[in-house]
Amino acid sequence: MEGATKLTTAYLIGGIILLGASAVLAAQFHGAAFVGGKKKKGGKRKPVRVYMDGCFDMMHYGHCNALRQARALGDELVVGVVSDDEITANKGPPVTPLHERMIMVGAVKWVDEIIPDAPYAITEEFMQKLFNEYDIDYIIHGDDPCLLPDGTDAYALAKKAGRYKQIKRTEGVSTTDIVGRMLLCMRERSLGDAQNHSSLQRQFSHGNSQTGDNSTTGTVTKISNFLPTSRRIVQFSNGKGPGPDSRIVYIDGAFDLFHAGHVEILRIARELGDFLLVGIHTDHTVSSTRGPHRPIMNLHERSLSVLACRYVDEVIIGAPWEVSKDMITTFNISLVVHGTIAENMDFLKEESNPYAVPMAMGIYQQLESPLDITTSTIIKRIVSNHEAFQKRNEKKEASEKKYYESKGFVADD
Ligand SMILES: *[C@@H]1O[C@H](CO)[C@@H](O)[C@H](O)[C@H]1NC(C)=O
Ligand SMILES: *[C@@H]1O[C@H](CO)[C@@H](O)[C@H](O)[C@H]1NC(C)=O
Ligand SMILES: *[C@@H]1O[C@H](CO)[C@@H](O)[C@H](O)[C@H]1NC(C)=O
């Protein structure tokens, strides 16, 4: 295992850059006081450290929810992010390279430490390392089966050691589902490619519900299983408004297929104030500006992904396209920001520039986007990789079908 030597370096989150947001957010959310990631409540008890691993390729709020649940089973959550090589060997090439996956996982507010280049399967050796070097008490995984290529249970060793705990898998979202939606979006764009994608698209059971009409596509597109509940939104929220004298920064956008580029711009925006308010545009706004098959993720899904980010204090679920004077007053916004990398920057030239008001007030600032990634970048990566995905998803689909057929009730939380 080539990655094993690198495993000794865990990335501690909650250091200088993140401390303000992460420690405070974690403390708010878990109702306990943290200093440098250690629990102070009651004094002596050693914090319970839990470990969860994953590929976190095309990360979505389902992954975030799993991390939230894992964190709730302990005091500190250490996350192993599987290396590109290990994913390629076990599932086919990842869409998102390790460094971007690290940014994504590290930005989730329930994550305390990350281990890069984690192995795909937990070996005896790696498990001992987790227990002895990383001081892990429990290894966590969802209730969906995770089988190795030889058909054995990937968590058998942890179970045998009595150090395994299970969480409920988040319903209504899977990577397979999301890829299906992207293909639907691509076929709209280039009819020439439609044939090629349609065979692939047929592999996916849950397409985006937006079209509803399958007569033209010839494929069955089911409505996503995702059932947003008010409780889930509360679970993802910090539940706290800005304090008195807070400097409130506002950023808005679609935040579709939440990616490392989004995380980085949010991180920079948060540094400019004390409270980051994020406006998420409605599905209607997004489709009217980006095309009929956008957004890939609906408003509630996009809101959850943004809420899970440690740099975000609050979101407006369905923000208006234009930043009005009324909005600035209502939320006491001090600064409105926008990144330099976006799907479309034409709005700045248009007469109906949505930032006209904050610009006139002198409270608009353009931020240099640290990463050159957009939602379209992600979609292109997936579609250009579609042969490999096809194979990967045929397998995946069979195991998901099995999961849903044998699924029983597992208590949430
Ligand atoms: C799509 O299929 C057509 C033939 O049906 C082929 O000419 C074309 O090269 C394919 N495009 C891609 C991207 O595979
Ligand atoms: C979509 O397909 C299903 C099953 O194939 C069919 O029952 C339904 O009528 C179709 N809907 C439309 C709008 O064509
Ligand atoms: C509004 O924001 C400013 C900082 O920009 C702050 O000084 C002021 O106290 C805030 N007002 C309220 C009522 O919180």
Domain residue ranges in the chain? 2-167, 177-227+377-405, 230-367
Q: Which residues are within 8 A (CB) of 217 and not within 5 positions of it... i.e. 6 or more apart? A: 184, 187, 198, 201, 211
Whether the CB-CB separation of 34 and 40 falls below 8 Å is answered with yes
State both tokens at 406.
Answer: 């044998």
CA 300 – ligand 3 centroid, Å: 29
Pairing of strands 49-54, 76-82: parallel
Residue 113 CB partners (closer than 8 Å, separation 6+): 10, 11, 12, 13, 37, 76, 77, 78, 79, 134
In this structure, what DSSP letter does residue 222 have?
P
Asked if residue 115 lies in contact with residue 81, where contact means CB atoms within 8 angstroms, the answer is: yes
Structure tokens at 167: 């969480």
- Cα(333) to ligand 3 centroid in Å equals 8
Provide the CATH number for the domain formed by 230-367 in this structure. 3.40.50.620
188 three-state secondary structure = helix
pLDDT one-digit tens code per residue, 264-311: 999 999 999 999 999 999 999 998 888 877 888 889 989 999 999 999
Pocket test for ligand 3, best of 327, 328, 332 (most atoms within 8 A of CB): 332
The rounded Å distance from CA 93 to ligand 1 centre is 22
Tell me which residues have their CB closer than 6 angstroms to ligand 1: 193, 195-196
Burial class (CB in 10 A: 0-12, 13-18, 19+), 134: middle
Give the number of the atom of ligand 1 that is nearest the alpha carbon of residue 193: 1
Highest mean pLDDT out of 203-207, 211-215, 301-305: 301-305
More confident residue, 27 or 182: 182
Q: Note whether 2-167 and 230-367 share their fold.
A: yes
- Euclidean distance between CA atoms 211 and 217, whole angstroms: 9
Per the listing, tokens 């994504």 go with: 104
- The least confident of 39-43, 102-106, 384-388 is 39-43
Q: Letter for the amino acid at 383?
A: V
Residues of the chain with pLDDT > 70: what percent? 68
* For residue 332, pLDDT beyond 60: yes
Closest residue by Cα to atom 10, ligand 2, is 214
> Residue range 253-258: average pLDDT?
94
Ligand nearest to the CA of 331: 3
pTM: 0.74
Q: Is the CB of 366 under 6 A from ligand 2?
A: no
Report CA(197)–ligand 1 centroid distance (Å): 9
Q: Quick one: which of 198, 206, 212 has its CA closest to 181?
A: 206
Residue 219 Cα to ligand 2 midpoint, Å, equals 9
Determine the 3-state secondary structure of 376 from DSSP.
Answer: helix
286's torsion region: left (phi>0), alpha (psi -120 to 50) or beta? alpha
**What's residue 291's pLDDT?**
81
The DSSP string of 234-298 is HHHS----PPTT--EEEEEE--TT--HHHHHHHHHHHHTSSEEEEEEEPHHHHHHHH-TT--SS-
**CATH code of the region 2-167:** 3.40.50.620
Q: How far is the CA of 292 from the centre of ligand 1 (A)?
A: 23
> What is the rounded CA–CA span in Å between residue 346 and residue 51?
45
Question: For residue 285, is it left (φ>0), alpha (ψ between -120 and 50) or beta?
Answer: alpha
What integer best gives the mean pLDDT of the chain?
Answer: 78
